[in-house]
Amino acid sequence: MATQQILQVQNTGLLFADVTDFPNSGAGPPTTGANDIRIGTGTKVQIDLTSVAAAAARQSDKTSDLGAAWEQEWVLGACIESTSAPTAGGTIEFWWNGSPNSTAGTGNSGAASGADAVFAVAGLPQLEFIGAMTVRNNVINIDAAIGVLRSKHRYGSLIIVNKTDVAFAGAGVMDETHITLTPIVPDIQAAA
């Protein structure tokens, strides 16, 4: 009997960063090559995490159309730069506002605006929790596999909650911060 295996491949995904702080007009790579968690360049989605305070939240622009057929599962990774080293054990949470509509202000959950802006944490219970990065006592924290998003809609926006005890890096110095959503694509192997 012939056997088949289903493996997986990772395609280029979404890159959440700020065009004014992430080098090369927001396309990257980060200033320090060792902090780069991208696979390819990624489709850019604007989010300005400049000086997001402890206990505050920020939302990204709504993504561009993922297509009539899109990947179901996406791995979330993040490189976050803070003003100073946070206390180890704090967290940075990542939430998803999936939307069936391409218009920024239409079809959003949790009172998300679909635009790069402050987010009111009262809306979090209506969003999809992707995962949380537990930070080290380091100015730059990286976790390339925080959680897996199972995308139910072809549009959406990312919400980030800073639950550490320090603010994120300020304007002009946040050249390492970027978040990725990388699609996981099943790859059915030929029968052996």
Question: How far apart are alpha carbons 17 and 50 in whole angstroms?
Answer: 10
pLDDT tens-digit series, residues 90-104: 999 999 999 999 999
What predicted TM-score, i.e. pTM, was given to this entire model? Answer: 0.93
Chain length of the chain: 192
Among 111, 130, 116, CA closest to 58: 116
Question: Which helix (H) or strand (E) covers residue 141, if one does?
Answer: strand 140-150
**What pLDDT digit, counting tens, does each position of 101-134 carry?**
999 999 999 999 999 999 999 999 999 999 999 9
